[in-house]
Each structure stands twice: as C-alpha cells, then as structure tokens.
Amino acid sequence: MARKNQMIALDVSPLANRKLGKYGLTRAQLNRLAPRVKRIVTRVERERGDGGHRYRELPHDRLMRQAVEEFAKALRPKTQNLVVLGIGGSALGATALHQALNHPQYNLLSRRKRGGPRLFVMDNVDPAHFAGMLDVIKDDLPGTLFNVVTKSGETTECLSQFLVVRNLLTRRLGREEAKRRIVVTTDSHSGTMRAIADREGFASLPVPDGVGGRFSVLSAVGLFPAAMCGIDIKAVLKGAAEMDDMVRSTSLQRNPAALFAAVNYLYYKKGLDLSVMMPYSNALSGLADWFRQLWAESLGKARNESGGKLISVGPTPIRALGTTDQHSQLQLYREGPNNKLITFLEVSRFDKDVPIPKAYKDQPALSYLGGTSMGKLLNTEKQATEQALLASSRPCMTIRFPSVSPHAVGQFIYMLEVATTIAAGLFGVNPYDQPGVELGKKITYHLLGREGYGNINALMHRERHQT
C-alpha cells in the first residue's frame, strides 16, 4: 500500500479562491461533471479488461522490466555513449526521465561519477545538431551504442538517422561490429525497421502491441535508455503501479487523473483553451515537454471518436519554467487575455539545496537573502507568482512532488497518461490516433520522390474527403 506522504498530489484549492470571480471553479460545477467522469472511468476500466488501453498494463509487466534490466546490465559496462535515434513519443520520454532523474550535468561528469554512458537523444534531423553529436562520439565509435526507437518502424526522421549511423559504423568498424553497435526498439511483428532488425540480426527490444509512441515511456522505449544510465526503473514502475490504484477510482475526489482531466475540460469549455504547465524545477521541465506532446497529439482532433462529426477540439499545451519564465511569460499570463489554465509543478524537498550566505548587511537588496536557500527562494517565488496570478483572476493549480524521485516521476507519468485518456472521453475524441500528421508526411514523400507518392493532387483530394 502506498504511503500517502510519498504520493504526488494535485492541489486544486486555488481554483476556489474568491479573487478568481467568474474564472473560479465551484464544487457544484465539478459535481455536475462527476457522473460523466464516472461513466468514462468505468468504461475505460472495462475496456482495459478486454485488452484496451494497453499502456495501462506496463507498470505491472515484470517480465518486460526484467528483460530491459538484463539487456542494460549486459551492455552498460562497455558503452561510453548511448545515442537514441527517434522522434516524438520515441524520444521525449527518454529525455524526460533523463532530465528528471540523472545528474543535471550528467554528460559532463566523469564515467566513474556518471556510472553509465553519456546520453544523446536525437529528436530531430537538424543536420547541424546531428553532425554535432557525431563530432563528439566519432572518436569512440566502438564504445558507442545506437538505440533506434520507432514503434511503426516507418518514420522518416528515425530511418534517415539510422541510415547515416549504419553507414558510418559499417565503414569504420565493418559489418559484424556495426551490428553489435545497434539496438532496435520497435514493434515485435510489423514495420520496415522490424524486418531490417530481423534480417540483419540487430538486437532488439519490443514496443508492446497496442502501445503508441506518446504512451510508451514506461516500456523499453523510455526504460532502456533510463536503465543504461542507472535510473532505478523498478522504482519508476512501482510509482506508476501505485498511481494505478488511485486512478481506477470513479470518484473525482480520490482520482487525481480524473480531477486533472475534469478541471482542464471545464476551463476549456469556459474558453480558457491554453493549458500551461509550469514546473518550478529544471529537472521537471522535460516532463512538461513530454506532457505537451501527450496532451496535444492525443486531444487535438478534427472529428469525434466515431470519426463522423467534425468537432475540431483540443486544448493547446504550453510549457513554461519557474522562475525563468517569470522574466519572460508572466507579464502576458497576468495581463494578457485570460485564456490560460496554469498548472504549477512544485517540489517539496530538493535532493540538494544551496544555502545563500549572509553578507552586505547595509544593502537591503542583498541582506534579506542571507540565511535562506535557493530551494526556499524558488518555492517562495512560486507561491508569490500563484498569489499574483490569483489577484488578477488567473486560474492556477499545483501538482506537488514530495521530491523528484523515480517513484514520484513514475506516478506523475502514469497520472497524466490516464488523465489524457479520461480527457479524451470528455472531449469525445480518440486519444490514440494522429490523423492530422499524415498529410505532411505524404507531401514529404512526394517531394523526396518516394515510390507511390507521385500524384500530389490525388493525395490532397483524398485528404479533403477525410477531414
């Protein structure tokens, strides 16, 4: 049984603040939505029992975790650099776990202090960015492992990265050694990358059936790079499993995922369709980036779930960082259009705090800081920002982390994945597809001369009929 004080908590109490006026949220408004939420949670649990929502089972998949741990244990000692090749849901989870749970300057530490390989996640095909990574690793190719991550096995960006790396490895190390420097994480049965991995004999890890990119961080997709860098993936999954106990509840009071979804939905309906996630923690900002994709790609849809009715819905997720964005975004958030719901992420106890020494007794701008700490200053500024936002009727709430631990991060990931599924129920959309990204892919194929994509007019025509 999870200890309450170890659990992350969603605090929506500021939304009841009187200063919010018509931008506040009353218990009555939440109560009116509660029966719908209850029906959605009940339906999701039923569908889960029938094999749906497969990502929900990942925290309980002991065999998957053990396979990842064993793989990582064998490869870790001989790997100096781990390069993840993938994009979107195949990259953001690895980055989020790394940023949250590894040392903030991980790649700059000595190997002894890091414990694992340096990590590079190549979430793009920007040539300067990619060539920059190659510059760093090219002197130690035998010590570099490339993790090609693609659920579909078809994604242009990932496959082009793979072609570059395979060629480099084969030229420099020969075919046999090149093979040992690549691990493929992909669907176990289908896709071009699966076929290549099987044909060429690359080691591989499966992306479980029914688990799409943005819901895959708790599979080998996110866990293998994490385990390679020494992150306690068992604790991440334990946190997620404990959150699973909470998010099965049909009560809004007891289910933080349902509450998060309901609050976001109600504000969207009030016209506040921008959803800002603002961690007061650099470690958590990768998770806010990960959430940005999860929320946008899952909820932003033209048509309702059955595919019939044109509804064009979806909140726009935005990532900010406290205190940094107090000096960038806050002016807009307080005085610009009142169209944002702000979710702060707050850390109660930082692993390391930095005391601020006393000095300059005669200088009021400095003397009040002496004797406090950076952690205290950061959290005080969060509190101050919240009060300032409420004073100008800007709604905000907080997800509080007891500390940034693998256990808390696992809870957070799972809570927001489930919140996304529930929000999709409220918006009436399918959270697991992304039809809106297909046309751009096809036009790229056309422009680059891929076979079967010669007729651009036919592609456009088909698209017009589908949307």
212 touching ligand PA5, by CB under 6 A: yes
Q: Is 46 exposed, middle or buried (0-12, 13-18, 19+ CB in 10 A)?
A: exposed
- 8 A C-beta contact, residue 5 and residue 242: no
* Dist. CA 375–CA 4, nearest whole Å: 23
Please identify every residue annotated as catalytic: 297, 327, 441
Neighbours of 366 (CB within 10 A): 13
Distances (CA, A) of 26 to 17, 30, 209, 265: 10, 7, 41, 14
297 touching ligand PA5, by CB under 6 A: yes
Q: Which residue in 17, 79, 81, 90 binds ligand PA5 (CB under 6 A)?
A: 90
Of 76-84, 87-95, 125-133, 406-414: span binding ligand PA5 (CB under 6 A): 87-95
Identify residues 125-154 at the interface with ligand PA5 (CB under 6 A): 150-152
- Closer CB to ligand PA5, residue 10 or residue 159? 159
* Dist. CA 85–CA 132, nearest whole Å: 14
Of 64-72, 81-89, 198-206, 386-394: span binding ligand PA5 (CB under 6 A): 81-89
Closest CA to 441 of 244, 159, 226: 159
- Closer CB to ligand PA5, residue 84 or residue 258? 84
- Closer CB to ligand PA5, residue 114 or residue 214? 214
Closest CA to 64 of 239, 231, 222: 222
**Least CB distance to ligand PA5 at residue 315 (A):** 17
Quickly list DSSP for 425-444: HHHT--TT--GGGHHHHHHH
- Closer CB to ligand PA5, residue 270 or residue 441? 441
Q: Which string of x and - marks every residue 387-426 that binds ligand PA5 (by CB under 6 A)? A: ----------------------------------------
Q: Which is it for the CA torsion 173, 174, 175, 177, positive or negative?
A: negative
Distances (CA, A) of 193 to 149, 154, 158, 368, 372: 9, 7, 10, 59, 54
214 touching ligand PA5, by CB under 6 A: yes
**Least CB distance to ligand PA5 at residue 221 (A):** 8
**Least CB distance to ligand PA5 at residue 115 (A):** 28
87 touching ligand PA5, by CB under 6 A: yes
Interaction site with ligand PA5 (CB under 6 A): 87-90, 150-152, 155, 158, 212-214, 297, 434
